[in-house]
Amino acid sequence: MGAMRRAKLEVRGVSLDLYNERTRKSLPVLRDLDFEVFDGELVSIVGPSGCGKSTFLNAVDGLTRVTSGEILVDGRAVRGPGPDRAMVFQHDSLFPWRTVRENVMYGLDLQGRLAKSERRERALALVELVGLTGFADHYPHELSGGMRQRCALARLLANEPELWLLDEPLAAVDLQTRNILQDELLRLWGDERDAGTRRAVLLVTHGIDEAVYLSDRVIVLGRRPGRIKEIVPIELSRPRRAHRNSAALGRHVEHIWNLIRDEAARAIVEETA
């Protein structure tokens, strides 16, 4: 990282257990996570099914408490949700009774910092930015899965968070749409702009190819309780579009897959047993 870059997110010795009220037992989910995400950097987390990826993202968002260690955003400990972070989920979580424009306006409405006319104008600009021109007055059930995820991304952008948290945001769409939305996500993030204009992003995904294609670094977790097996720097230039089918990208994918292949197979057996 360059000398002037600072850590937006710091994860210091984080372990996390989840308590089951019914069984009255604690399930160890994560152990001893330690890493940083810098301003302007896109970092992905991959690992076997059930290794705690999404649980960790919830902890960064302040929705789940860690058992030990600490999570810092801009040097401040995370104690709960805050406007400096925003999450996009695998399922878009749009309000079905709000139109596209109204969904994008939701965070702005809560903040109340702008006049309603300004909120509407800003929401409409973002609707157009994410490629939903002409659909501002449509409801979520009238949109395709890919269009709903575009709306969710516009809602995130409306709040101008310093840290984007993306939990499998493209997993629910078909492969062709997923590839298109990957490029759209990179465009909105600033893949073709100077790194100083980009936000910090932490992405959870099951797709190793997706992680490599999008990211500056990939954090590889092992089976639950999830521990960091390796942090893999992705040495591909930006913009990334030229690398989608490159041999270099394939080598990164193969390396990461070899790190988790056996554990991923065991996780599948455990899930189906």
User: How confident is the model over 219-247, as a mean pLDDT?
Assistant: 95
pLDDT (0 to 100) of residue 117: 85
pLDDT (0 to 100) of residue 6: 83
| Position 269, amino acid | V
pTM of the complete model: 0.91
User: How confident is the model over 145-157, as a mean pLDDT?
Assistant: 92
Q: What number of residues does the chain have?
A: 273
Confidence of residue 2 (pLDDT cuts 50, 70, 90): very low
| 3-state DSSP of the chain | CCCCCCEEEEEEEEEEEEEECCCCEEEEEEEEEEEEEECCCEEEEECCCCCCHHHHHHHHCCCCCCCEEEEEECCEECCCCCCCEEEECCCCCCCCCCCHHHHHHHHHHHHCCCCHHHHHHHHHHHHHHCCCCCCCCCCHHHCCHHHHHHHHHHHHHHCCCCEEEEECCCCCCCHHHHHHHHHHHHHHHCCCCCHHHCCEEEEECCCHHHHHHHCCEEEEECCCCECEEEEEECCCCCCCHHHCCCHHHHHHHHHHHHHHHHHHHHHHHHHHC
Provide the residue ranges of all domains of the chain, joining segments of one domain with +: 92-160
Instruction: Dump pLDDT digits (tens) for 25-39.
Output: 889 999 999 999 999
Confidence of residue 271 (pLDDT cuts 50, 70, 90): low
The closest alpha carbon to 29, from 267, 270, 271, 225, belongs to 225
Q: How much of the chain, in percent, has pLDDT values that exceed 70?
A: 96
Confidence of residue 99 (pLDDT cuts 50, 70, 90): very high
* Choice between 47 and 91, residue whose per-residue pLDDT is larger: 47
